Chain A
């Protein structure tokens, strides 16, 4: 297993366009998380899945954001009608059922620039 993979690494899009990011977690990990980091801030929680079920979603997440994890494997994060404020690094992480032993394993992130 090569770790958590995210695609694409970079995305530049025009305001108003839709974008979709993909995350492939470590295969043995049933938990998957999406975080967003903006300049000067720490990663901010967006949502998390246990297998295919989306169990928590940040109240800060607008309705333009949606995430899926079909069949409990890879996950996609879609942003509709992008705005300049969506420009950020989007991080995906996975973990076993408990984070008490190892914490998260993060991917390299997708950097989104909205112009």
Chain B
């Protein structure tokens, strides 16, 4: 089945620790996105990539880093510089281009600082 897989589903981070969230897709999509969701705030864009080896900052990129070495994979690292990382993280992908192409989402990773 084609789709987007995020792992792990739940992740716990200690203070000062870096953690990496995985996002893999087998839809052959060029563009991939990371969003953060907090209660009452909707989805906010962290980073996105429209092609391999290239990515752009979103609205809340501080304290996060990404890589796009393969078309299928777009991992997100939450660094110790991110002071409030507890949130629900969502990965999405879509075909490239400006036309009417649907965005598809993974099932999310819930990150909690302990």
On whether the two chains bind one another, the answer is no
Q: B residues within 8 Å of A by Cβ?
A: none
Chain A residues at the B interface, C-beta cutoff of 8 Å: none
